[in-house]
Amino acid sequence: MYVSSLYGPEGHLTAESVQRLKDGGLDDSALSDALAHLSKCEACAERLADAFAPQELAEMPAGFAQHAVARANESIRSEKRQFALYTARVAVAACASLVITFSGLLNHSNFSNIHAAKVNPPDAAFINGINTKLQTFSQNLLNLEGFTHEKKEK
């Protein structure tokens, strides 16, 4: 079947083209063109779907919907767990770098050839400011996650 004969004057697949597509009677180039058109044209996709009788469609296996929902929920839990572990690793790395930087550990290392610059610890107000900002940021993240989760449930 030629590609040009797939379409009617209005630019949609003809009834014969839809039937041949359903029955698998299109050659490769016509099939490719028809499928590309179906991906963009809702009317033709609907006509193809309507061409199938209910008895021609496969039945969904028993318990499929529950299994699909359970898998989706497990995937969501897994992603949240991975995010929590990633967040914990980043927090531990940040804390470790702060401890190493401000404890003077670099100044007392066994690197005799390397003279590390002395780092003066910041004053308590600076540290308290950072802690306050981190707590606010963390609370904002938690609020955002809660809002997003509630929005998905609705």
Domain ranges of the chain: 3-56, 64-153
Dihedral Cα 81, 83, 87, 93, nearest 10 deg: 90
Cα separation of 138 and 127, whole Å?
16
With H, G, I as helix, E, B as strand and everything else as coil, classify residue 10: coil
With H, G, I as helix, E, B as strand and everything else as coil, classify residue 58: coil
pTM of the predicted protein model: 0.37
pLDDT in tens, the chain (154 residues): 445 588 888 888 898 988 888 888 888 888 889 899 889 999 999 998 888 887 777 777 888 889 999 999 999 999 999 999 999 999 999 999 888 878 766 665 555 555 556 777 777 888 888 889 999 988 888 887 665 555 555 5
CA–centroid distance for 111 within its chain: 46
